[in-house]
Amino acid sequence: MSPAELKESIHAVTPAHLKERLSGLGHPAYRADQVLEWVYSKRVDGFAAMTNLPAALRASLEEHFVFHALETVRVLGAEDITRKYLFRLSDGAMVESVLIPASPALYGEASDRRTLCVSTQVGCAYGCKFCASGLDGWSRNLTPGEIVGQILQAEKQSGERVSNLVFMGMGEPLANFKNLSLALEILNAPWGVGIGARRITISTSGLAPQIRELAEQSMQVRLAVSLHGARNEVRQQIMPVNRKYPLEDLLDACEYYAERKKQRITFEYILIREVNDTLEDAKALVEVARRVDAKVNCIPYNKVEGLDWVRPEESRQDAFMAVLKRAGVTATIRREKGHDIAAACGQLRRQTMAPAVAE
Ligand code: SAH
Ligand code: SF4
């Protein structure tokens, strides 16, 4: 391990922890609040900029902590439309974040909602058959500092504050539970990034035990479940995780979450032609959505290079939606905004890394 790796990320400490560390190093504990104010309110890039701190403290911080800023490798898109950022981490691994402005159609012209879609792992171990993120397997978990760093870097690059967060980038958030929890604490805290818990959505492929664990935590984050199949035989064809946690277990965990948090969860449902888009599938989806009182968000499949799946024609999407609507299920269809820049999660990274892989 290099000396830099032995240092703690300054983007991964809570006030309580920093106070303890500073006291241990012989500095007054109250300095921790000042340090975090420089980090999150003033957004400085290094300890040298913390001009109201004594030089000895700055030197000590320099010795034990590190600013691991993410490096921006590529940006696709432009102001007012979806922007995709490809970030390089300190070990050279790459992750993506996507900044999505409010849709005037949905939120009105005046809305300043800006949603950032963030990654939680490098690659993904869950191997869903339709997804680009899992194609090269799983490399590692992101650290709490790297999760927080995506928001800081996207805000720095865009010059805008992020109002909402969705954990729908690369990786399975609930498989990186410990690091996710600390990152959430920092992102939500008034001393940290200060994004309200109800403006944070965690998306999971359906890790039932971790859904229950998240339900036990006090933070009111929202839960989205990647369902993509409302019958086991359909779901397990495209999502191997369904063999470990079949629909019965998953739906029980969803019910538990909704009950504990007094919250409606969302089922994400990608429409893939001739895989999960029949009227029978729509009826099965009505059943499970009713059971959990969930909202449904349908997403026409985004083509992934190298995979054969395709989206159904619009008439077929409409027929599917009509079944849900007729049954009184709250359902929307998201006709992807980012579609033309580079489609779903994990794809920008693959495109950029492809030449290196081919060599
Ligand atoms: N691992 C988590 C979060 C990341 S994936 C999860 O699976 O929920 C975020 C969402 O993008 C998931 O709903 C996933 O199923 C969806 N997705 C993956 N590939 C897609 C594609 N090609 N087109 C549309 N949505 C896709
Ligand atoms: Fe992983 Fe989610 Fe993609 Fe499945 S859909 S491979 S869980 S990132």
Per-position pLDDT tens, the chain of length 359: 555 568 999 999 999 999 999 999 999 999 999 999 999 999 999 999 999 999 999 999 999 999 988 999 999 886 667 899 999 999 999 999 999 887 666 666 667 889 999 999 999 999 999 998 888 899 999 999 999 999 999 999 999 999 999 999 999 999 999 999 999 999 999 999 999 999 999 999 999 999 999 999 999 999 999 999 999 999 999 999 999 999 999 999 999 999 999 999 999 999 999 999 999 999 999 999 999 999 999 999 988 888 999 999 999 999 999 999 999 999 999 876 544 444 445 555 555 544 333 22
pLDDT at 68: 84
Distance between CA 95 and CA 74 in Å, rounded? 11
Q: Helices 247-261 & 279-292, crossing angle to 10 degrees?
A: 40
Distance between CA 19 and CA 4 in Å, rounded? 21
Q: Is 240 exposed, middle or buried (0-12, 13-18, 19+ CB in 10 A)?
A: middle
pLDDT at 81: 77
Q: Which residue matches tokens 């007054």?
A: 28
Nearest-CA residue for atom 8 of ligand 1 = 204
All structural domains of the chain, each given as residue ranges with its CATH number in brackets, are 3-66 (1.10.150.530), 78-341 (3.20.20.70)
Q: By the 8 A CB rule, do 32 and 20 touch?
A: no
pLDDT at 356: 32
Please give the torsion angle defined by the CA atoms of residues 11, 338, 294 and 229, in that order, rounded to the nearest 10 degrees: -110
Reduced to 3 states (helix: H, G, I; strand: E, B; else coil), residue 202 is: strand
Which atom of ligand 1 has the smallest separation from the CA of 299?
Answer: 24
HSE-CB at 334 with a 13 A cutoff on CA atoms is 17
Which ligand is closest in space to the CA of residue 304? Answer: 1
- Say which residues have a Cβ less than 8 Å from residue 351's Cβ, sequence separation at least 6: 305, 342
Give me the count of residues in the chain.
359
Q: Which residue matches tokens 């400490």?
A: 13
Which atom of ligand 1 has the smallest separation from the CA of 167?
Answer: 3
**Cβ(124) to ligand 2 under 6 A?**
yes
Which ligand is closest in space to the CA of residue 339? Answer: 1
pLDDT at 191: 98
Phi, psi of 247 (to 5 degrees): -50, -40
Looking at the DSSP bridge assignments, the partners of residue 97 are 85
Nearest-CA residue for atom 4 of ligand 2 = 128
Sheet holding 295-300, edge to edge: 71-76, 83-88, 94-101, 114-117, 164-167, 200-204, 222-226, 266-271, 295-300, 331-333
Distance between CA 238 and CA 235 in Å, rounded? 6
CA geometry: angle 285, 227, 85, nearest 5 deg = 135
- Find the radius of gyration of the CA atoms of the chain: 21
Nearest by Cα to 98 from 139, 145, 137, 150: 150
**Cβ(133) to ligand 2 under 6 A?**
yes
Task: Write the CA distances from 217 to 73, 107, 141, integer angstroms.
Answer: 35, 30, 21
Nearest by Cα to 95 from 134, 45, 138, 150: 150
pLDDT at 134: 82
Distance between CA 229 and CA 211 in Å, rounded? 18
Nearest-CA residue for atom 1 of ligand 1 = 172
- Positions marked catalytic: 96, 345
Q: Which residue matches tokens 């001739």?
A: 274
Other Cβ atoms within 10 Å of 107 Cβ, number? 12
Other Cβ atoms within 10 Å of 322 Cβ, number? 13
Ligand 1: lining residues by beta carbon, under 6 Å:
130-131, 168, 172, 203-205, 226, 268, 270, 299, 301-302, 304, 344-345
Distance between CA 313 and CA 273 in Å, rounded? 8
pLDDT at 4: 54
Instruction: Tell me the pTM.
Output: 0.93
Q: How far is the CA of 171 from the centre of ligand 1 (A)?
A: 9
- Ligand 2 binding pocket mutation candidate from 139, 226, 250 (most atoms within 8 A of CB): 226
Distance between CA 321 and CA 4 in Å, rounded? 52
What are the structure tokens assigned to 201, written together?
Answer: 């959505």
One-letter amino acid identity for 116? L
Q: By the 8 A CB rule, do 151 and 116 touch?
A: yes
Q: By the 8 A CB rule, do 175 and 119 touch?
A: no
The H-or-E segment that residue 190 falls in is none
Nearest by Cα to 205 from 269, 109, 273: 269
Distance between CA 226 and CA 205 in Å, rounded? 5
